[in-house]
Amino acid sequence: KQEVTQIPAALSVPEGENLVLNCSFTDSAIYNLQWFRQDPGKGLTSLLLIQSSQREQTSGRLNASLDKSSGRSTLYIAASQPGDSATYLCAVIGNQFYFGTGTSLTVIP
Amino acid sequence: GAVVSQHPSWVICKSGTSVKIECRSLDFQATTMFWYRQFPKQSLMLMATSNEGSKATYEQGVEKDKFLINHASLTLSTLTVTSAHPEDSSFYICSASSGEGTDTQYFGPGTRLTVL
C-alpha cells in the first residue's frame, strides 16, 4: 500500500523567506502527484498537479518538483507571505488518492 | 468551473441519531464521487467510492452498514452516518470526478460532524 510522508510536520518562518516542503512516497508507480492547501476547518484548494511524465510545475510563487524514481516531491514557496499560512497536503495519485499528513505552515509578519 | 458543494458545512447531533451529508457537483456531471474522512491532525483517508446508479465500493475497515452512500444522480451523492457515536466525529470531505480518471478530482469544502 502506498504510504505518503510529509516533512516537516510544522514550519514557522518570518515573512519574505523562501521555503521548501517535502513529500515522500513508497511506491513509484504513480499517475500524478498533487499539492493542496487546506485552511483550518476548510476543504482543499488545489495548488499544483504534476503528471508522472513531468518533473516540475510552476504557478506564481509556487514551484513543485517530482522525482518518481526516488519517491520524492518538493513544494517551493518563494517570498512567503502571512496569507500563505495553512496546511499543505501532497496527494500521490495511483488507483486512488493517497494523502500525506500535511505540513502546517505559519508565516510570521 | 468544476465546483463541488457540500451541505451542511457543519452539524452537531446526539449519539444514536443519523446524519445525512450531501455532495453536489454544480457545473459538471460526476460519474464518480469519493468520500473521505479526516481526523484532527491526520491525513484524509478514502472511505468509499461511488459510481452513479451502482453500489458504493468501501475501503477496508469502513462499515458499509454504518456509512450509507447513495449516488442517485450524476450531480448528487449522499453519505448517511447511521446511529452516530462520538468516535464518528470528524471532517468529511467529498470529491467528484467527471470520469476522466482518478487523477482529476474536484473537492468539496467539507462537513464538520460533531456527535455529542
CA distance B86 to B102: 32
**Residue B87: what are its φ and ψ, rounded to 5°?**
-70, -10
pLDDT of chain A, 109 residues: tens digit per residue: 899 999 999 999 999 999 999 999 999 888 899 999 999 888 899 999 998 889 999 999 999 999 999 999 999 999 999 999 999 999 999 888 999 999 999 999 9
Q: And the C-alpha cell for B103?
A: 487523477
Residues of A in contact with B41 (CB under 8 A): 101
User: Contacts of residue B44 in chain A, CB cutoff 8 Å?
Assistant: 44, 89, 91, 97, 99
Closest alpha carbon to B2 in B22, B35, B36, B29: B29
B37-83 pLDDT per residue, tens: 998 888 899 999 998 888 899 999 999 999 999 988 999 999 999 99
